[in-house]
Chains A and B, each alone.
Chain A
């Protein structure tokens, strides 16, 4: 039992998250455990949602990555808040706007990749500049507050668990079912292992790529919508930190950067870990610089560990 558990690549991110939690508790002598868990679940939820999307794209194989996640988040949040205009009862309208923005951004990204044969990195990068401008233009520096009922929902909790974490959990289960149980998931995992072999095995690889790039944008848009509701409004740099962390949680979570392999539980472990390690370094009194330095070294260490484990296998 223990052995099969240790064989799972996601277990390490969970162990690391638990260790970080334990180390903080050691310092505070057990005080504030509930607050810490609440914060970790809330903030981890946003990283988990964008991480799920980035994971699907990275699963498509080397060279596939979406750099437009922050811009899509910001644009979706801005337009959704504008559409809702702080009016009560418009939450679903806002959600629909956000999802629509996500679909549009995802399809635009894929169109650039497919029609202009651009490498995904440059395509999503160029597109993200345009999304950013759209967001700036529609926002115009105004800070529109989310409807009160939506803000209450986003910061509230049900049976003790933050609502945003519950939503992220539901999305994770959906992504897990798609990847592990559906025909589409098989197609995606197959395409990521060897695109040519997958095509020759009858998998419609372009469809898989199109749907995947759309999915990541929709997930980013939903994350943006929730984050704006959670933090009381959209700001232009609200998505910034999620570019790096979306990729980092995928790698730390045990998903192979070489493609063809996804790991939903690992995304959660890694999202919690990323938040907790910063809190831990914080509570031990380390400065912002050292925190970042250690985070970077941890990411590289995990990548090296993963590659040498693969080498031995």
Chain B
């Protein structure tokens, strides 16, 4: 991509790479090559395909079509080609010391005195990236703060480990670092690249991208939509390139309802009224899901069940938070109404069957028998069951944690309509979504950044641009 280096010398080259997850196309026709000395700023909204691309480069995923090669080193495996990744989710062993963690990813550290060498190597790496870091290489990782752990991960990523790092992929490396430390990292990236290394840098801090990247690659809907030297972008054009995920119908905003009484007001400023659909927006992983889960846990008890729950939860991470995998569709759907219909503590199986059958037609669960296992359904239909579970109860507040992941467009339209009609009947919805199109249907939107509410938008203020603006830190990191 950089004209100065010939393509044959590039560290990694992707040619027409595609990646499918079942019917979902995560990446289509991506070609990219990264040469020594380059720092690629990778930007894009949620689900644009950034993490899929990164995992294809580091060998975590195998492409469905196309080719990933490492011309400069001639290696076939990313690890041998000197490609390292530093992920957002922490991948250290918390029970080991900093130096011992280096041992895990550095298999040439053996023999007598390996501890000393590991200690020297990681300390040198930390010193060169974060001068004055104050981390003792003999401390166990679980005693470090989140920021310090992140620093250690970065240091391990850049450490020699017996074979020099050629390409280091940093996925939101500054998300838990403060501004000063983040600047140290940016400085180090520049020196690293000047010495012939390459970096892929993913960040929601637009300022950082402009500071450090030599090239900016913009992704949208699984494609690279722009890839130009940084100098050719301005902040405005960059946001413009990322945005407008759904150019189609965002006029679906229903008639604004008269605000009802306030039913919810949390410490961090989240407010919801009766009959409102309140959106939570921002980039994924900025505290929305945690805030909603906490909200739910605070308002329900682990010690007794209410006959009619005060609040119900629709999970987005179905496997972790929603599906009870051994059960049938029926049992999954009706778990929220058991107490409501029970007699003498026994399940009213007739009522249960009635509710399940009613919701099967109402929300359109595609199955010939609701007694089939929940796992026999497709992801989208499983999600419908979770909606049915929540809406079947008479709970006044419904919390939705990005529930439309992997749901097809038809289902989405059905569910949107259902949410609007339920809201009209006086229910309150708290809706976290990573899709701007959905957030734009809400009566009020709270944008989260770094675990806090960074903006509150009402009515006509709810536009894609305003949400994007609040999601990304537009100022210089050091400012």
Contact = CB atoms under 8 A, between A and B. Distances in A.
Interface of A: 177, 181-184, 186-187, 189-190, 193-194, 196-207, 256, 260-261
A309 B389 CA distance: 30
A187 B336 CA distance: 10
Nearest to A200: B313
A197 B302 contact: no
Contacts of B301: 204
Contact of B322 (A177, A182, A184, A200): A200
Residue in A190, A196, A199, A200 whose Cβ sees the most chain B Cβ within 10 Å: A200
A193 B327 contact: yes
A197 B323 contact: yes
Interface string B337-364: 0110010011101000000000000000
B320 A196 contact: yes
5 contacts: A182-B346, A193-B325, A193-B327, A194-B325, A200-B293
Q: Which of A183, A186, A204 gathers the greatest number of chain B CB atoms within 10 Å?
A: A183
Contacts of B29: none
Contacts of B338: 183, 186-187
A204 B303 contact: yes
A202 B302 contact: no
B304 interface: yes
Interface in B295-327: 296-297, 300-306, 309, 312-313, 315, 320-327
A194 B300 CA distance: 18
Contact of A197 (B306, B309, B315, B336): B315
A198 B324 CA distance: 7
Nearest to A209: B302
A196 B323 CA distance: 10
Interface residues of B, number: 34
Contacts of B65: none
Nearest to B325: A193
Given A181-B346, A182-B346, A186-B347, A200 B315 contact: yes
Contact of A183 (B303, B323, B345): B345
Nearest to A186: B338
A102 B296 CA distance: 35
A183 B293 contact: no
B350 to A, nearest CB: 13
A183 B305 CA distance: 11
Contacts, number: 85
B161 interface: no
A261 B326 contact: yes
B324 A202 contact: no
Contacts of B306: 202
Interface string B144-172: 00000000000000000000000000000
A93 B324 CA distance: 43
A44 B195 CA distance: 76
B331 interface: yes
Given A204-B302, A204-B304, A207-B304, A197 B321 contact: yes
Contacts of B346: 177, 181-183
Most buried by B among A177, A186, A256: A186
Interface string B42-58: 00000000000000000
Nearest to B301: A204
Contacts of A205: 302
Given A181-B349, A201-B389, 4 more contacts: A189-B326, A202-B306, A260-B324, A261-B326
A186 B332 CA distance: 10
Contacts of A206: 302-303
A199 B302 contact: yes
B335 interface: yes
Contacts of B312: 202
Contacts of B313: 200-202
Given A193-B325, A196-B320, A204 B305 contact: yes
Contacts of A261: 326
B295 to A, nearest CB: 11
Nearest to B309: A202
B320 A207 contact: no
Nearest to B322: A197
Contacts of B304: 204, 207
Given A190-B324, A260-B326, A182 B315 contact: no
Contacts of A204: 301-305
Given A183-B338, A196-B320, A197-B323, A202 B300 contact: yes
Give the interface centre of B324, B331, B346 by most chain A CB atoms within 10 Å.
B324
A201 B301 CA distance: 11
Nearest to B334: A186
Contacts of A196: 320-321
A186 B327 CA distance: 10
B342 A183 contact: yes
A53 to B, nearest CB: 20
A222 B81 CA distance: 66
A208 to B, nearest CB: 9
B320 A197 contact: yes
Nearest to B399: A200
A156 B144 CA distance: 66
A9 to B, nearest CB: 12
B345 A184 contact: yes
A265 to B, nearest CB: 18
Nearest to A261: B326
Nearest to B331: A186
3 closest Cβ pairs, A-B complex: A206-B302, A193-B324, A200-B313
